[in-house]
Amino acid sequence: MDGGVINGSSSVCMIKLKSNDASIMISDLSKTSSSLSSCRFSKTMASLSSSAEAAAGVKQQQLSGDSFIRPHLRQLKPYQPILPFEVLSTRLGRKPEDIVKLDANENPYGPPPEVFEALGSLKFPYIYPDPESRTLRAALAHDSGLESEYILVGCGADELIDLIMRCVLEPGDSIVDCPPTFTMYEFDAAVNCGSVIKVPRKKDFSLDVVRITEVIEHEKPKIIFLTSPNNPDGSVISDDVLLKILELPILVVLDEAYIEFSGLGSKMEWVKKHENLIVLRTFSKRAGLAGLRVGYGAFPLSIIEFLWRAKQPYNVSVAAEVSACAALQNPDYLEKVKVALVQERERLYKLLKEVPFLNPYPSYSNFILCEVTAGRDAKKLKEDLAQMGVMIRHYSNKELKGYVRVSVGKPEQTDILMDCIGRLS
Ligand SMILES: Cc1ncc(COP(=O)(O)O)c(C=O)c1O
C-alpha cells in the first residue's frame, strides 16, 4: 500500500512506509477530531524528517481525503433529490415530453414569454451580477407591498434556509422541525452542525402547538421552521396559531413557497411588527422558474443586516435575476396560471377521491397527498405508474410510509394520470 492512511472510523492513526512495509501505530484515539490532529502532527513530523526518509527510499505519504472532512459531515446522510429529467428519460426509455412529471411540485406551465425573450437577449452575461439584486428587489417591493430594504434574494429559497442557519446556529444549537414537512430544514441543520428537535404534526397534519411550546420553553431551540401551505399535505397555519408561536422566544421561519395557491395573503409585511419572524417565498412555483433558482425572503431589519454580510456576493445569477424581473412584468400571466392550477387541483381531488384505494387530503397548494389504502402498497403504485411514464412522489420515511403525493399538472396530465390509475384498479 502506498503512503499513510487515517482510518476515521476505528480512530487509529497509522503511517505505512512503502520501502520496508513497516507500520507505525501512532495512537489509539477515542475522538475522530483528536485523531485528525494527531495525524496532522504525525504528517508534520514525517515531513521534518523528509531527508532521512528520502535516504531510506520512502515515498511521500498521503492522507486519505475524507480525513479532512469535518466529523459531523462524515455522518451526514445525503439529501435525496428527484432524478434529473434527462436521466429519468433515459431510464424510462421515454422522451422528456412523453413523461408526465407530477413528483416535484413544479409549475407545468413554465414562466411567461417575457422570460424567454429576456434570456435570449442578455446583454452582459460576462459581467458579475448585482450582489444586491437591486432591480429584482425593487420589483419584489412593488409585487409584495413591502419595501425592498426588508427583502433579500437567494439562489432559491433553499439557499436562504441554509444562510439563515449559518447566521443563527452555533454548533450544538437546535432547531424545531414539525414533520412531515419539507426535509431541507433537517438536512441543512445537520450540515450546519445543529441538532433537530422533532415535534410531529397531529394525525390531521395540524401543528402540535402545546408540544411546540413545551419544547421551546424547556430545550431553548434557536429556530422553528413552519411551512404554510405545508409540503407534503397542503394544510395551512392559521393566524392564531402563528401569533401564539411568535410570542415564544424563538426565531420563526415561515416558509410560504406555495402561498399563491392558498388564496391567502402572504405574511411578508408581518416582519415589520415581529422581530422574530422571517418569511420565505420562491419563484420556483408561482412563476415556473424552478430551474433558474430564485427565492426571496422578508426579514426584520435587525436580522437582514447580518444575512447581507454572510451571503455569497454573487448568489443570484444574471440569468436568474433577469428572468424573475421579466416574470413579474406579466402579473396577468402569473394570475392565469395560478387560477388554472387551483381549478385543476379541485378537479384532481374529486377524481382521486373516487379511486377505491386512495384517500386524498384537501390541499391549499399545487399538490395533493393521498393515503394509499385497501391493502395497496404505495411504493408499488409509484413504480407501476413510473413504468407507464407517470411520475408521482413516494416516501420512504416512517411518517409517510403509506402515502404518495401528486403534483397538480395540466388537465391533459390529470387525464393521463387517471387513465393509468384506472388501469391499475
Ligand atoms: C416548502 C418548500 N420550501 C422551499 C422549497 C424550495 O424552493 P426553491 O426552489 O426556491 O429553493 C420547496 C421546494 O420544493 C418547498 O417545498
380 or 40, greater pLDDT: 380
**Residues 245, 139 within the same domain:** yes
Please report, for residues 96, 258, 290, 296, the alpha-carbon distance to residue 293 in angstroms, rounded to integers and kept in the order given.
Answer: 21, 15, 6, 10
The pLDDT > 90 percentage for the chain reads 78
Cα of 83 from ligand 1 centre, angstroms: 16
Binned at pLDDT 50, 70 and 90, residue 55 comes out as low
**Within this chain, do residues 266 and 204 fall inside the same structural domain, yes or no?**
yes
Return d(Cα 141, Cα 301) in angstroms, integer: 15
**Ligand 1 centroid distance, CA of 255 (Å):** 8
Cis peptide before 180 (omega within 30 of 0): yes
- The Cα–Cα gap between 331 and 353 comes to 33
Decide: helix, strand or coil at residue 190: helix
Is 188 a pocket residue for ligand 1 (Cβ < 6 Å)? no
Q: Is 158 in the pocket of ligand 1 (CB under 6 A)?
A: yes
Instruction: Kindly state the cell numbers that stand for 167.
Output: 447566521
Of 307, 330, 353, which marks where a domain is finished?
330
pLDDT over threshold 90, residue 58: no
Which residues, in sequence order, are bridge partners of residue 260? none
**Under 8 Å CB-to-CB from 13, ≥6 apart: which residues?**
6, 7, 25, 26, 27, 29, 35, 38, 39, 42
Our answer on whether the CB atom of 157 is closer than 6 Å to any ligand 1 atom is: yes
Span from the CA of 160 to the centroid of ligand 1 (angstroms): 10
pLDDT, position 78: 82
For ligand 1, the distance from its centroid to the CA atom of residue 2, given in whole angstroms, is 45
Establish if 188 belongs to a structural domain.
Answer: yes
Nearest to 423 by CA among 396, 386, 384, 391: 384
**Residue 162 domain boundaries:** 113-330
List residues bridging with 13 in a β-sheet: 6, 27
Total domain count for the chain? 2
Average pLDDT over residues 171-182: 96
CA distance 309 to 313: 9
CATH number, domain containing residue 231: 3.40.640.10
Q: Do 152 and 250 share a domain, yes or no?
A: yes
Can you tell me which residue has the cell 444562510? 163
Amino acid 396: pLDDT: 85
How high is the pLDDT of residue 60?
58
Beta carbons within 10 angstroms of residue 25's beta carbon: 9
Among residues 298, 278, 285, 288, which one has the least CA distance to residue 258? 285
Whether residues 214 and 99 share a domain: the answer is no
Q: State the average pLDDT over residues 351-371.
A: 98
Mean pLDDT of 158-178: 97
Task: Work out which ligand 1 atom sits closest to the CA atom of 227.
Answer: 1
Last residue of a domain, one of 312, 330, 348: 330
**Residue 81: per-residue pLDDT:** 78
Length of the chain: 425
Ligand 1, atom 13: nearest CA belongs to which residue?
257
Element (H, E) at 167: helix 156-168
Residue 155 CA to ligand 1 center (angstroms) comes to 11
What mean pLDDT is predicted for residues 112-136?
A: 97
What separation in Å is there between the alpha carbon of 346 and the centre of ligand 1? Answer: 22
In sequence order, the 6+-apart residues with CB closer than 8 A to the CB of 272 are 146, 150, 300
- Note whether residue 14 is domain-resident: no
Task: Please tell me if the CB atom of residue 36 comes closer than 6 angstroms to any atom of ligand 1.
Answer: no
Same domain, 301 and 419: no
Domain-terminating residue out of 285, 306, 330: 330
Q: What is the CATH number of the domain that holds 90?
A: 3.90.1150.10
Report yes or no on 61 lying in a domain: no
Q: Which of 165, 282, 363 best tests ligand 1's pocket when mutated (most atoms within 8 Å of CB)?
A: 282
- Average of pLDDT values for 322-329? 98
Stretch 321-335: mean pLDDT: 98
Q: Tell me whether residue 66 is in a domain.
A: no
Cα-to-centroid distance, 149 and ligand 1 (Å): 23
Nearest-atom number in ligand 1 for the CA of 230 is 1
To test the pocket of ligand 1, the residue of 82, 152, 158, 254 to mutate (highest count of ligand atoms within 8 Å of its CB) is 158
Pocket test for ligand 1, best of 82, 161, 184 (most atoms within 8 A of CB): 184
Cα–Cα dist 178/158, whole Å: 17
DSSP 8-state code for residue 75: T
pLDDT of res. 337: 98
C-alpha distances (whole Å) from 348 to each of 22, 226, 338, 361, 407 are 69, 26, 15, 11, 10
- pLDDT at position 174 is 98
